[in-house]
């Protein structure tokens, strides 16, 4: 078993079988505890079924909402050599939101297409978004093959449709596998119901997946909060999103470009660390009397932009239209400030990939737009591909998320 696990996002139109496939994968790879299996069998019997795999996800979600399993890293399945952690994104809106705001980013994705229904607009929108967020190598699963009599002809038709679209996006396809998530065909082992399929089972294909390690060496530590419980000194806390924070090192506080020295690094239960790395939530004390606040970004390099204007692709999420010259709240990492959309260069329908309008004034529905955003204060940003954490943001109005975006 390889040391590092791989984060995988499941995408696809609602009802095409995401939950069922996830349930099936967890069950068939022995990654569900015995007592969970019993509970799910019980719920399944109560609706007259032997085993409803979609219930696996319901059970896990219920646990999460009760706060039992806060750690999403709990939901994983194993292939021969690898461990895949599932990043669960339930509805379409949640999908968009999680992809933009989620703390854990996907490293690969699996897109499901129902063999009967074939590709839907939502399937395409998800693929488009995956690609924008840098997930450009994906697995494609054509599900519910049992409902189309395991027909090779039908499989090829659906396969052509999805591959045409993915090719347009320049997404690399790691495999197109005909399966029945419900009955388990071609998931772990090859099924004798589809002798025409000459490829490998889904798990065998996934087992060969290699993550292209993209390490973020440059320090990026957004200040989340300020605590004043240590004597007369303020402690600044945050999660390290890139690089390493070292005791005694000189760092730069953005957007002010102040230089400070790190005097002390603290962690729950550990008083005096010499360094801390990516993913660690820490507190630190700078030398001297330095006032920092939530929204400051601590860096050790010049690989960032401080600006009041940037170009971005946004995904509209609100049921109300929005547009230029309207006020929004920008949230990017821990930074928060007023902003407005100065320009909408073009808005387009991600399903058809067609430009709906250029130099537009409004955006609505589930459209995507290329915009110029103007902020009221200096904001620290980076291209998504350079530093994902400073490259994605949300726009809010009256405390509701109206759009998610990626800086280009």
Q: Which residues bind ligand GDP (CB under 6 A)?
A: 12, 14-20, 54, 143-144, 146-147, 180-182
The tokens for 203 are 């798990």
Residue with Cβ nearer ligand GDP (126 or 182): 182
Residue with Cβ nearer ligand GDP (116 or 326): 116
Residue with Cβ nearer ligand GDP (57 or 253): 57
User: Taking the complex as a whole, how short is the minimal distance between the CB of residue 13 and ligand GDP, in angstroms?
Assistant: 7
User: Taking the complex as a whole, how short is the minimal distance between the CB of residue 100 and ligand GDP, in angstroms?
Assistant: 20
Place of tokens 């953005």: 254
Whole-angstrom CA distances from 68 to 65, 83, 90, 268, 327 are 8, 22, 19, 21, 39
**Residue 110 and residue 103: Cα distance in Å, rounded?**
19
**Residue 379 and residue 399: Cα distance in Å, rounded?**
20
User: Taking the complex as a whole, how short is the minimal distance between the CB of residue 31 and ligand GDP, in angstroms?
Assistant: 17
User: Taking the complex as a whole, how short is the minimal distance between the CB of residue 44 and ligand GDP, in angstroms?
Assistant: 11
User: Taking the complex as a whole, how short is the minimal distance between the CB of residue 52 and ligand GDP, in angstroms?
Assistant: 6
Q: Measure the CA angle with vertex 120, ends 115 and 124; round to 5°.
A: 115
Q: What are phi and psi of 147, to 5 degrees?
A: -80, -10
Place of tokens 């609100």: 318
Q: What are phi and psi of 249, to 5 degrees?
A: -80, 155
Residue with Cβ nearer ligand GDP (12 or 243): 12
The tokens for 83 are 């461990």
Q: How many CB atoms lie within 10 A of CB 266?
A: 18
Residue with Cβ nearer ligand GDP (140 or 265): 140
Residue 305 β-bridge partners? 381
**Residue 293 and residue 286: Cα distance in Å, rounded?**
13
Residue with Cβ nearer ligand GDP (63 or 146): 146
User: Taking the complex as a whole, how short is the minimal distance between the CB of residue 154 and ligand GDP, in angstroms?
Assistant: 13
Q: What are phi and psi of 122, to 5 degrees?
A: -65, -35
Place of tokens 């007023």: 338
Residue with Cβ nearer ligand GDP (125 or 182): 182
User: Taking the complex as a whole, how short is the minimal distance between the CB of residue 63 and ligand GDP, in angstroms?
Assistant: 17
């Amino acid at each position: 078993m390889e040391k590092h696990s791989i984060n995988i996002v499941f995408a696809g139109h609602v009802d095409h079988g995401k939950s069922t496939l996830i349930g099936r994968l967890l069950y068939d790879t022995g990654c569900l505890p015995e007592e969970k299996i019993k509970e799910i069998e019980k719920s399944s019997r109560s609706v007259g079924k032997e085993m409803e795999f979609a219930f696996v996800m319901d059970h896990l979600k219920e646990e999460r909402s009760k706060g039992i399993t806060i750690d999403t890293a709990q939901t994983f399945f194993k292939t021969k050599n690898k461990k895949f952690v599932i990043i669960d994104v339930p509805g379409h809106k949640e999908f968009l939101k999680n992809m933009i705001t989620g703390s854990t980013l996907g490293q690969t994705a699996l897109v499901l297409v129902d063999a009967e229904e074939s590709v839907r607009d939502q399937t395409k929108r998800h693929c488009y978004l995956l690609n924008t967020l840098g997930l450009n190598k994906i697995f494609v699963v054509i599900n519910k093959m049992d409902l189309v009599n395991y027909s090779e002809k039908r499989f090829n038709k659906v396969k052509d449709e999805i591959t045409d679209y993915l090719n347009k996006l320049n997404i690399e396809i790691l495999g197109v596998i005909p399966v029945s998530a419900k009955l388990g065909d071609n998931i772990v082992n090859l099924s004798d119901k589809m002798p025409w399929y000459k490829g490998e089972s889904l798990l065998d294909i996934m087992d060969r997946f290699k993550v292209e390690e993209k390490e973020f060496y440059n320090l990026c530590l957004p200040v989340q909060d300020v605590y004043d419980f240590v004597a007369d000194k303020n402690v600044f806390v945050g999660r390290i999103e890139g690089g390493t924070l070292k005791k005694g090192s000189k760092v730069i506080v953005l957007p002010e470009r102040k230089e400070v020295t790190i005097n002390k690094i603290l962690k729950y239960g550990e008083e005096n660390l010499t360094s801390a790395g990516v993913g660690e939530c820490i507190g630190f004390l700078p030398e001297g009397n330095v006032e920092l606040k939530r929204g400051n970004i601590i860096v050790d390099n010049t690989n960032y932009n401080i600006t009041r204007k940037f170009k971005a692709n946004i995904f509209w999420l609100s049921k109300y239209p929005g547009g230029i010259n309207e006020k929004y709240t920008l949230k990017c990492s821990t930074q928060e400030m007023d902003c407005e959309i100065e320009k909408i260069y073009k808005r387009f329908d991600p399903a058809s990939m067609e430009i709906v309008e250029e130099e537009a004034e409004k955006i609505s529905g589930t459209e995507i737009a290329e915009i110029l955003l103007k902020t009221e204060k200096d904001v620290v940003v980076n291209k998504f591909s350079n530093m994902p954490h400073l490259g994605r943001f949300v726009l809010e109005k009256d405390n509701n998320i109206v759009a998610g975006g990626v800086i280009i």
